[in-house]
């Protein structure tokens, strides 16, 4: 069993990032921190390291329990990584999710199901009038 693994491979293997290239890019942009030092994708990690991942505005923290270079199934991840994110960061994350869910201004973005039905009801009579005039 290996004693060290590249951080970009490990972040991808434990499903913190969807692809390895996204993990490497996060490292290059300085979003991955170990011991208050921004790390490069080639940095080797070992069991016991605490890795911080910046996903604005939250700073997630993970402890390395075991090493792997192969992508794991979602159920197996708990044997390899432990989430040690602070409580205040998790609260900030939850508040952000709630705010994003409830903060869409009316009329922006994709219409809701209710808005689409109202729009269909409004437009339907116009189409019927147009077809009658053609006769």
Q: How far apart are CA 14 and CA 135, in angstroms?
A: 65
pLDDT at residue 17 in the model: 95
**How many CA within 13 A on the CB side of residue 28?**
6
Helix (H, G, I), strand (E, B) or coil at 29: coil
Beta bridge partner(s), residue 38: 33
Average pLDDT over residues 9-22: 95
Region 69-79: mean pLDDT is 93
Q: Kindly indicate the confidence band of residue 45, based on its pLDDT and cuts at 50, 70 and 90.
A: very high
pLDDT at 103 over 60: yes
Lowest mean pLDDT among 19-23, 75-79, 89-93, 116-120: 116-120
Torsion sign over Cα 119, 120, 125, 129: positive
Beta-bridge partners for 112: none
Q: How far apart are CA 64 and CA 35, in angstroms?
A: 13
What does pLDDT average to over the chain? 87
Q: Summarize the confidence of residues 36-60 as an average pLDDT.
A: 93
- Local structure of residue 64 (DSSP, 8 states): E
Give the number of other Cβ atoms within 10 Å of residue 43's Cβ.
18
Q: What is the pLDDT of residue 129?
A: 56
Give CA–CA dist 30/58, Å, rounded. Answer: 14
Report pLDDT for 111. Answer: 79
- Which phi and psi angles does 44 have, rounded to 5°? -90, 140
Count Cβ atoms below 10 Å from residue 75 Cβ, excluding itself. 7
Higher pLDDT pick, 132 / 117 = 117
Q: Does 33 score more than 90 pLDDT?
A: yes
Question: In this structure, are strands 50-55 and 32-34 parallel, antiparallel, or unpaired?
Answer: antiparallel
pLDDT of amino acid 31: 96
């Amino acid at each position: 069993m290996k004693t060290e693994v590249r951080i970009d491979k490990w972040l991808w293997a434990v499903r913190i990032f969807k692809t390895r290239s996204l993990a490497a890019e996060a490292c290059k942009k300085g979003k991955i921190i170990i011991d208050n030092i921004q790390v490069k994708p080639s940095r080797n990690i070992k069991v016991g390291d605490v890795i911080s991942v910046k996903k604005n505005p939250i700073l997630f923290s993970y402890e390395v329990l075991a090493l792997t270079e192969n992508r794991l199934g979602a159920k197996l991840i708990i044997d390899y990584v432990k989430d040690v994110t602070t409580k205040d960061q998790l609260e900030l994350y939850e508040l952000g999710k709630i705010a994003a869910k409830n903060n869409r201004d009316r009329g922006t973005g994709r219409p809701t199901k209710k808005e689409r039905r109202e729009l269909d009801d409004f437009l339907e009579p116009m189409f019927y009038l147009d077809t009658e005039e053609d006769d």
